[in-house]
């Protein structure tokens, strides 16, 4: 779904495992190759000692269940608490759904790989994992853009906020975001399915990613990379443009507020979202945009771990810790269940 500098060529720094399977990748046209179709891929995961794997397994399973719990809690509070029936919290609940998708798609299989040193995944299973991974990240990109637009209207046009951000309009924006993610990633899957996999089937990673599949394909990747590049534009360039425009206008308006108290109050309404956007895009760029030449496979996995495991955990924590309304709704929800 995303472009990555790894497409320009293999890393100059490889582990012995990478060197073994990477050396067998031959860009030979399919008609000149012994076409033995690959039916499954081997995910190597983290090549670490048994004690470290046990520690990682224990930590990840705690993080996974806490992530699911926190995001489900936010969805429940937003749907049941009247004080949270506002556009901002509606979009936060949609973001939680996206985070649940991401965690459920990546972490269980990662735990399996940690338990058994490596894991086999069928070709269809790999495509399925790529599909839901792509949906979660594409929807999060689009939802963060919609949320920045919501904050822009709230701060820059407060008198018309309720008439613009109606419940119907919010639902429409959410549906458009999800449908766009589903459709674009579906086109991505069709693009990947055009590829021929007739050689090595070892992926030195802990989940199926389009970038690593491209490295294993024996097809001509030129036009495939162009297709993936153009598919990435609507879910990367468009949301980033909206976010930059919205926060540029928000900062200009906040700086015009004469009192420091007023500026602080205005900024507090979008600070949580700004933190989430910053974390999301920094990890995104760290994994897919920054140069990977000379970067070890371990470092690449760690960056991917931050993006796929810790970001879905951090998002609900930021919104719950910095938001008085969510705290109030949680206390009211807890009180009702304890006493009634």
Helices (H), the chain: 16-22, 50-80, 87-115, 123-156, 161-164, 167-193, 210-216, 222-256, 260-288, 297-305, 311-321, 324-339
Report the run of H or E that residue 12 belongs to, with start and end: none
Mean pLDDT over residues 279-290, rounded?
A: 76
Band (pLDDT 50/70/90 cuts) for residue 34 is very low
Q: If DSSP codes are grouped into helix, strand and coil, which group holds residue 200?
A: coil
**CA 255 from centre of chain:** 32
The rounded mean pLDDT for the chain is: 81
Band (pLDDT 50/70/90 cuts) for residue 21 is very low
Task: Tell me the angle at which helices 87-115 and 123-156 cross, rounded to the nearest 10 degrees.
Answer: 150
Report the run of H or E that residue 40 belongs to, with start and end: strand 40-43
User: Which residue matches tokens 């996974």?
Assistant: 64
pTM confidence score: 0.82
Domains of the chain listed by start with CATH number: 15-339 (1.20.1070.10)
> What digits encode the pLDDT tens for the residues 286-298?
776 665 554 567 7
Band (pLDDT 50/70/90 cuts) for residue 256 is confident
- The pLDDT score that the predictor gives to residue 163 is 92
Higher pLDDT, 95 or 218: 95
């Amino acid at each position: 779904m995303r472009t990555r500098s790894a497409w320009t060529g293999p890393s100059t720094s490889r582990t012995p495992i990478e060197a073994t399977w990477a050396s067998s990748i031959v860009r030979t046209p399919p008609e000149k190759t012994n076409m033995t179709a690959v039916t499954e891929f081997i995910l190597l995961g983290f090549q670490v000692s048994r004690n470290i794997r046990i520690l990682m397994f224990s930590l990840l399973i705690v993080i996974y269940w806490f992530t699911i719990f926190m995001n489900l809690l936010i969805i429940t509070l937003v749907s049941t608490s009247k004080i949270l029936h506002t556009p901002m919290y509606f979009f936060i609940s949609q973001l939680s759904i996206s985070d649940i998708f991401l965690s459920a798609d990546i972490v269980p299989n990662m735990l399996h790989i940690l338990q058994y040193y490596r894991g086999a995944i069928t070709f269809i299973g790999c495509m399925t994992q790529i599909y839901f991974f792509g949906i979660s990240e594409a929807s999060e990109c689009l939802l963060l853009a919609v949320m920045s637009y919501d904050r822009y209207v709230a701060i820059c046009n407060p008198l018309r906020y309720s008439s613009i951000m109606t419940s119907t309009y919010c639902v429409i924006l959410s549906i458009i975001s999800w449908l766009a993610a589903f459709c674009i990633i579906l086109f991505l899957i069709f693009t990947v399915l055009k590829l021929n996999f007739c050689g090595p089937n070892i992926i030195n990673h802990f989940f199926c990613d389009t970038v690593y599949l491209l490295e294993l394909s024996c097809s001509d990747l030129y036009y495939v990379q162009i297709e993936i590049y153009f598919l990435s534009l609507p879910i990367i360039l468009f949301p980033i443009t909206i976010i930059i425009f919205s926060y540029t206008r928000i900062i200009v308006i906040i700086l015009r507020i004469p009192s420091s108290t007023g500026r602080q109050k205005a900024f507090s309404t979008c600070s949580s979202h700004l933190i989430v956007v910053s974390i999301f895009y920094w990890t995104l760029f760290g994994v897919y945009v920054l140069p990977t030449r000379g970067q070890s496979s371990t470092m690449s996995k760690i960056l991917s771990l931050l993006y796929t495991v810790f970001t879905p955990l951090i998002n609900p924590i930021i919104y719950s810790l910095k938001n008085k309304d969510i705290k109030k709704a949680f206390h009211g929800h807890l009180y009702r269940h304890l006493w009634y």
